[in-house]
């Protein structure tokens, strides 16, 4: 089951928005945790901790098939994400390449995980309710630019 391009783009936009907002050297790692945490907080109100934990666990299982680097991640009993600090590049790379490869793997894995989570939300809740939940957490410019060029204003 492939991730639709629109869902992957939405995940990238949310991560980019949070990375820009974070402005730290590890901004993408932090962005992944922020996006995940904001989705968790919003969805726990909607579906409860157990509902979110179940959804997040399924998203992680699906995402691991696309991004094996997510193997170290775990969804805890309360739905929080653990193990992001364990992303590591192969040992044969030099230090500069290790940092770049680790960041790239974290970005690809983070996009995949968030996209899988968003995809499950769209499947179970529908696109309109999913976008409504996102609008409650992020400003429109963080995720709604897919309508650009069609004459609609967000």
pLDDT, position 153? 38
CA distance 123 to 125: 6
CA distances to 35, 43, 52, 53, 117 from 49, rounded to whole Å, are 17, 8, 5, 6, 15
Select the more confidently predicted residue: 101 or 29.
29
pLDDT, position 90? 37
Question: What would the pLDDT profile of 4-15 be if each residue is shown by its tens digit?
Answer: 999 999 999 998
pLDDT, position 19? 84
CA distance 103 to 121: 27
Question: What would the pLDDT profile of 75-132 be if each residue is shown by its tens digit?
Answer: 999 999 888 666 443 333 333 344 444 444 456 788 999 999 999 999 999 999 998 8
3-state secondary structure at position 75: strand
List the single range of 10-14, 29-33, 65-69 with lowest mean pLDDT. Answer: 29-33
Task: Please state, as a whole number, how many other Cβ atoms lie within 10 Å of the Cβ of residue 128.
Answer: 9
Instruction: Find tokens 């939405």 and name the residue.
Output: 10
Question: Is it the case that residue 61 has pLDDT exceeding 50?
Answer: yes
pLDDT, position 145? 52
Model pTM?
A: 0.78
């Amino acid at each position: 089951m492939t991730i639709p391009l629109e869902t992957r783009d939405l995940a990238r936009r949310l991560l980019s928005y949070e990375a820009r907002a974070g402005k730290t050297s590890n901004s993408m790692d932090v962005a992944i945790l922020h996006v995940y945490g904001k989705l968790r907080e919003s969805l726990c109100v909607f579906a409860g901790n157990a509902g979110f934990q179940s959804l997040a666990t399924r998203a992680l299982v699906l995402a691991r098939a696309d991004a094996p680097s997510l193997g170290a991640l775990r969804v805890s009993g309360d739905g929080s994400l653990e193990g992001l600090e364990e992303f590591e590049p192969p040992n044969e790379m030099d230090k500069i390449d290790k940092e770049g490869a680790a960041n790239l793997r974290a970005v690809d894995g983070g996009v995949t995980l968030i996209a899988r989570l968003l995809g499950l939300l769209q499947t179970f809740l529908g696109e309109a309710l999913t976008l409504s939940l996102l609008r409650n957490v992020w400003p429109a410019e963080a995720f709604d630019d897919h309508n650009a060029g069609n004459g609609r204003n967000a």
